[in-house]
Amino acid sequence: MFRNLRELYQYRGLLLSLTQRELKARYRGSVLGFLWTFLNPTLQMVVYTLLFSVYMRQQIEAYAYFLFIGLLPWIWFASSVGGGASAISDRRDLLTKVRFPAQVLPASVVVTNLCNFLLSLPLLILFGLFFGWKPSWHVVALPLVIVTQLGVTLALAYLLSAINVTFRDLQQIINNLLTMWFFVTPIFYRATTIPEDFRLAMVLANPMAVMATSYQSIFYDHQLPAAGPLALWAGIAFVLLTVASIIFERRREEFAEVV
* Smallest distance, other proteins to C-beta of residue 19, A: 11
Whichever of 20 and 193 has its CB closer to other proteins, that residue is 20
Residues making contact with other proteins (CB under 8 A): 13-14, 17-18, 21, 24-25, 28-29, 93-100, 162-163, 166-169, 247, 250-251, 253, 256-258
Whichever of 25 and 140 has its CB closer to other proteins, that residue is 25
* Smallest distance, other proteins to C-beta of residue 214, A: 31
How many of the other CB atoms lie within 10 Å of CB of 55? 7
Largest alpha-carbon pair distance within the chain? 56
* Smallest distance, other proteins to C-beta of residue 175, A: 16
Whichever of 29 and 132 has its CB closer to other proteins, that residue is 29
Contacts 24+ apart (CB under 8 A), 164-171: 164/85, 164/86, 164/88, 164/89, 165/88, 165/89, 165/251, 165/254, 165/255, 165/258, 165/259, 166/258, 168/89, 170/85, 171/82, 171/85, 171/86, 171/89
* Smallest distance, other proteins to C-beta of residue 14, A: 5
Whichever of 105 and 208 has its CB closer to other proteins, that residue is 105
Whichever of 27 and 182 has its CB closer to other proteins, that residue is 27
Burial class (CB in 10 A: 0-12, 13-18, 19+), 249: middle
* Smallest distance, other proteins to C-beta of residue 3, A: 17
